[in-house]
Amino acid sequence: MDLIEHFSTLEQRPAERLGLLVGGLLLFWIIEGAIPLLEPKYKRNKLRHAGVNFGFTLIHLAIHTGLAVVIVLLSDWCRRAGFGLVHWTGAGVGMTILISFLVLDFFGGWLVHWTEHQLAPLWRFHVVHHADNNVDVTTGLRHHPVESVLRGLFFFAGILVSGAPMYAVMIFQTLLVLATAFTHANISLPRRLDRALSWVFVSPNMHKVHHHWQQPYTDSNYGAVLSVWDRLFGTFQTLEPKDIRYGLDRYYPNEEDENFGMLLKRPFGRISDR
């Protein structure tokens, strides 16, 4: 089975996709334990913290399973109708992968994230992600269910604009899963390596700046896989790791950042405006 055929049918193999997710989490879980960037201050212990975030992860995966049906239908429609950039430009396989990757990363990574920070009704759900006082590999999929749906809608837009075939969609999603684990992991890379990576890709230090508790740092570094969007649109920021502090106690008491029930319900109530 060649690479294109493999990724064309990957959506039909959920066990393999789950294995990639779990494998990535375990890999960076081990690495962050060996070379931590910041000393974690868990309320109880790392397993308890992970359990809360895995609760959101399971809901996110259940929602994505439903959204995946629409993704397949949209991709197939674009192929039949010849709709989207890859079809309008007559792109070959290599350019199809590149165009799809860029468009999907922009819509499903940078643009949806930027929008969540700009609009108060969306921010109230996204803040659940930022409320984590101990950012580690498990934080990557700590998203409120409403946010998971919103991200799916932006991803649909990316498929329509790009016309991405399923193999290109699955290549992007596979790399996105690994990138999310990598950028949230509490790992300390050599400064020069992290800085070099951040010229093209979102690096661990770059994304940790986004989790700092104060603006303008919170409103920066929105990228998912590629850092080029933040550099292009002027939302790139740097901050020394020693100066980073996690959590947003303006919206949630820091001592409640592992209260799963409250985190699910609170966005539907009243919280402070931005």
With respect to residue 164, please indicate whether it lies within any of the assigned structural domains.
yes
Query: What are 63's two structure tokens?
Result: 């929602």
Three-state SS across 84-149? CHHHHCCCCHHHHHHHHHHHHHHHHHHHHHHHHHHCHHHHHHHHHHHCCCCCCHHHHHCCCHHHHH
Residue 142 belongs to a domain:
yes
Model confidence pLDDT, tens digit, residues 21-59: 888 889 999 999 999 998 888 888 899 999 999 999 999
Report d(CA 252, CA 218) in Å as an integer.
Answer: 15
Residue 9: the pLDDT is 75
Which residues contact residue 131 at a Cβ distance below 8 angstroms, ignoring those fewer than 6 apart?
Answer: 247, 248, 251, 252, 257, 263
| pLDDT beyond 90 at 159 | yes
Q: What are the angstrom distances between the C-alpha of 45 and each of 128, 211, 252?
A: 20, 21, 20
Per-residue model confidence (pLDDT) at position 150: 97
- Using alpha carbons, list the distances in angstroms from residue 63 to 57, 103, 148, 160: 10, 22, 7, 20
pLDDT tens per residue, range 117-158 = 999 999 999 999 999 999 999 999 899 999 999 999 999 999
CB 257 within 8 A of CB 246: no
Determine, yes or no, domain membership for 263.
yes
- Indicate whether 45 belongs to any domain: yes
What is the rounded CA–CA span in Å between residue 196 and residue 198? 5
Domain count, the chain: 1
For residue 218, being part of any structural domain is answered with yes
Q: What is the mean pLDDT of residues 95-103?
A: 98
In the chain, the largest separation of any two C-alpha atoms, in whole Å, equals 55
pLDDT tens profile 224-245: 999 999 999 999 999 998 899 9
Whether 71 maps to a domain, the answer reads yes
- Percentage of the chain beyond pLDDT 90 is 75
Query: Does 7 reside within a domain?
Result: no
Range of the domain at 72: 16-31+40-268
Residues 52-77: tens digit of each pLDDT: 999 999 999 899 989 999 999 999 99
Tokens describing residue 180: 């999310």
Structure tokens at 211: 């989790």
Q: What is the pLDDT of residue 13?
A: 81
Q: Is residue 139 part of a domain?
A: yes
